[in-house]
Structure 1
């Protein structure tokens, strides 16, 4: 796992645009961008060893800006970073880049942000992040998450 300039976690994953990821026009369906971003999010929290994040971090906002088409068979890289750690929320930034392909020179295909809130199972609303989760996300545990995990 990499870290961004602020020392917050960042991760990249690679995928291939599969047939199921395309729409009738032959390029990626709009929804596939968030599936790849969510796959990067899952990888990030596996590497941080925080499985308890997922059942308690619903989306409260997301923005996607589409810049270029991605085509069946094209390789893509999804980069996700924690942009801001709030008292009860996390804001992530992401970019999805296409690699060179016969129908595209590659480059930035989509970018955006999304925010999750910490809502534990026994709560009806957002609560402050637990200290141990905040410590890992803010860097106290990132070095151990990086060690031995490429």
Structure 2
């Protein structure tokens, strides 16, 4: 296992809450958090050159705390951090921040964690992360 917190294995995604992300009152759907977080994760993996990561790393656990609403048009910052790199799994923590909006201060909207597992073949059995991926994520 590798503890990556000291190495700054972080992905960031900036976006805006769009109408498709909201209910009729203009408040975000809980599912929008997953999309924001996955976009931050994708930014991290692109930065590290792991372009085929998502096809081989399904989520096996996802936990989120919803702290505050996000509103239509509000800027959002999603931050994902790799906090544990195991033999065949990775654990990430995340935060989704609603930026200052209509007189409201920047606020933590959601936070949580999730686990992915490396699946090398279509048999859906977990396998060790490739050494090249481990090196890219801990560099």
Q: TM-score, normalised by structure 2?
A: 0.92
Runs of 4 or more off by more than 2 Å in structure 1? 103-106, 121-124
Q: CA shift at 1:106, angstroms?
A: 2.5
1:112 maps to which residue?
112
Q: Partners of 2:51 and 2:123 in 1: how far apart? A: 18
Instruction: Check the 8 A contact 1:94/1:113 in 2, yes or no.
Output: yes
Instruction: Check the 8 A contact 1:95/1:108 in 2, yes or no.
Output: yes
2:22 maps to which residue?
22
Q: CA shift at 1:136, angstroms?
A: 1.0
Which residues of 2 match residues 45-64 of structure 1 at below 5 A?
45-64=45-64
Change (3 A) 1:59 1:108: same
Residue by residue over 1:37-74, the C-alpha shift from the partner in whole angstroms, topping out at 9 and shown as x without a partner, is 00111111111001121111000000010000000111
Q: Partners of 1:43 and 1:95 in 2: how far apart? A: 15
Residue by residue over 1:65-113, the C-alpha shift from the partner in whole angstroms, topping out at 9 and shown as x without a partner, is 0000000111011011101001100111100111111163221000000
Query: What is the RMSD of the two structures over their aligned residues, measured on CA atoms?
Result: 1.4
Q: TM-score, normalised by structure 1?
A: 0.85
Helix, strand or coil: the match of 2:53? Answer: helix
Structure 1: any 5+ residue segments left out of the alignment? 140-150
Structure 2: any 5+ residue segments left out of the alignment? none
Instruction: Check the 8 A contact 1:100/1:106 in 2, yes or no.
Output: yes
Which residues of 2 match residues 1-150 of structure 1 at below 5 A?
5-102=5-102, 104-139=104-139
